[in-house]
Structure 1
């Protein structure tokens, strides 16, 4: 086998491990949420979102702490967020009964609003790293320190408080069902092992692919790895839609993306101490991410549902994103240079 075939086999095997682990992970978190009678929006935004976010969280931490690939990690977080916001609602709608995804006004404004706030917060923190910790005079790169990442982590704690308050109003917390929480936690732990092994393989494959093709690791993180670790959430979204719980699908997307932005990179920074980030390359992507979030907000606010035409539109926008990344990889676009 050639080196390219070996890397491709590694990527395929790693994706299979991530998929298997994430499937069990999603089922275990869903069972835990049902066990404690959590409301559907809280279950999607926190419990299911945390479970489905674990692959990209581990990928980000592994890329920074084990491989010292900060740009790859940023690419994974942003690429995963773009995939979730545009692809998961689109595919969930097209594969749901009636080909439309219903939602509600509270979900639209609360979850989407907080997600946009999360994007703005991370962008501000990255800007502060350039202003206060520039790598060189006049440089667009800065050092992201432990002190700076406390802001997004604090914002996520506030998000959890809001969700806790919603759950308390709902009267959640009373255990129910035939199985104990420990049994569901066992499945959770086993799934985390599969996900961790698969993600490490994906990160290594991305690094090798970038060497073989002479392209940026950042772009591989934005596309292949970012989408690969997020594919299980398509399964979550479709399952929720078919179970007549469309709010879980949308809230999982937004809650998972919020977790990725506010927790994944900050935790890695807390472990290693500080990382260097190219703010110039990040800004266009975050602008696109805000635009994608506002597009989703517009779509779900229209009649409080995602129609078939709107779902196709979301997928076409993601296709445009991939075309942009392809242009970046061959030098036809230099926005991320």
Structure 2
């Protein structure tokens, strides 16, 4: 029955995330935001709602290692697994100009988190600093998010505001229920097999909560809407650190397993730095690069299974 609840939790996160994003994009289009900003904020943050709900509930439930592992693991999966899969389907443009500020924020947030957890603890002061960074980022992103005349995403009339709002609320309710099922079943499985909660958070929970990002970016790649795919990943990684860990630490300070400050944060930073470098140097991720990202992620997950 525990495994059934785990599967239901995964499926619920996927469906709830899809509904939330669909509703949120409709609302954003109604207010005239550009596709890149929709990807960075509404879609990127909307697809991170599973991580937020799982992490907060994990902290409140006395399993903070899952909260930290969920965020760090999701940020690794977002670049290596999700952008890798999107690039294999269709080469993804990552023009440096429009993304310069946001890539810098992602790198700075990752580096700041790495420094904060070196002491083995993420307290309320650190949480407040992270959340303050989120508010500053949102202000800057929305301030520059004007619509361009040739934005294909916005050429069609947006759905009625009430319909988008109803869809978004339905998605949020689904996420709340699914997050509870996922966190309870994953914790029970970890304890039954003697697997640490940190490893469960870094792998099973992180992949599960990243399903909305995966679905959104893959669909965006298939529709040749690279702005949404890339903005989704960059926005999610920023939101995961600044909002999720910021809010979680404010609610319940997080004791941090020493392993996070080692290989896990090193890989998270390397993935973010690699994406920024590829954007600056080449401005795109082709199929070979996407395949390489998937191989690196596969190796990381395999290593987690034997550690």
TM range (shorter): over 0.9
- Give, in whole Å, the separation in 2 of the partners of 1:125 and 1:26: 31
Which of 11, 18, 23 is the aligned partner of 2:13? 18
1:284 deviation in Å? Answer: 2.6
- The 1:35–1:310 alpha-carbon spacing in structure 2 relative to 1, beyond 3 Å, is same
Does residue 320 (structure 1) correspond to residue 299 (structure 2)? The answer is yes
* Deviation of 1:23 (Å): 1.3
**Rounded Cα–Cα distance in structure 2 between residues aligned with 1:84 and 1:281:** 17
Partner residue of 2:115? 124
Deviation at 1:22, TM superposition (A): 1.1
Compute the displacement of 1:169 (Å): 8.1
Selected match of 1:185 from 148, 165, 175: 165
For structure 2, list consecutive stretches of 5 or more residues without a partner in the other structure.
none
1:291 is the counterpart of 2:276? no
Higher relative contact order (CA 8 A, sep 6+): 2
Rg larger for:
1
152-161 vs 237-246, greater mean Cα deviation: 237-246
1:105 and 2:96 aligned: yes
The residue that corresponds to 1:156 in the other structure is 134
- CA-atom RMSD, angstroms? 2.1
Q: Cα 1:266–1:284, aligned 2, differ >3 Å: closer, same or farther?
A: same
Task: Using structure 2 for the length normalisation, give the TM-score.
Answer: 0.92
Task: Please list every run of 5 or more consecutive structure 1 residues that lacks an aligned counterpart in the other structure.
Answer: 1-5, 131-140, 329-337
Please name the residue that 1:76 is paired with: 70
How many Å apart are 1:198 and its aligned residue?
Answer: 0.8
Partner of 2:56: 61
TM-aligned CA deviation for residue 298 of structure 1: 3.0
CA distance in 2, matches of 1:54, 1:88: 17
Match of 1:257 among 224, 228, 237: 237
CA distance in 2, matches of 1:87, 1:300: 17
C-alpha change, 1:178 and 1:203, in structure 2 (3 Å) is closer
| Partner Cα distance (1:92, 1:10) in 2 | 29
> Are 2:295 and 1:311 aligned?
no
Contact 1:219 1:325 (8 Å CA) reproduced: yes
| Mean Cα deviation higher: 236-245 or 9-18 | 236-245
1:333 maps to what in 2? none
Separation in 1, partners of 2:26, 2:247: 27
In the other structure, the counterpart of 2:196 is: 216
Counterpart contact for 1:80–1:230, Cα < 8 Å: yes
Residues 185-220 of structure 1 deviation map (CA, whole Å, 9 limit, x = unaligned): 111111111111111111111111111111101101
Contact 1:299/1:310, CA 8 A, preserved across alignment: no
1:245 aligns with 2:225: yes
Offset at residue 168 of structure 1 (A): 4.8
> Relative to 1, partners in 2 of residues 1:303 and 1:277: Cα closer, same or farther, differing over 3 Å?
closer
CA contact (8 A) 2:88 2:288 kept: no
Shift of 1:49: 0.9
Tell me which residue corresponds to 1:135.
none
C-alpha separation between the residues in 2 aligned to 1:165 and 1:179? 24
- How far 1:89 moved relative to its partner? 1.0
Query: Post-superposition shift, 1:317?
Result: 0.8
Do the aligned residues in 2 keep the contact of 1:15 with 1:202 (CA within 8 Å)? Answer: yes
TM normalised by structure 1 equals 0.84
Give the equivalent residue in structure 2 for 1:201: 181
Count how many residue pairs are aligned between Structure 1 and Structure 2: 303
* Equivalent pair of 1:240/1:246 in contact (CA under 8 Å): yes
Go from structure 1 to structure 2 and tell me whether the alpha carbon gap of 1:103 and 1:276 turns closer, same or farther (over 3 Å shift): closer
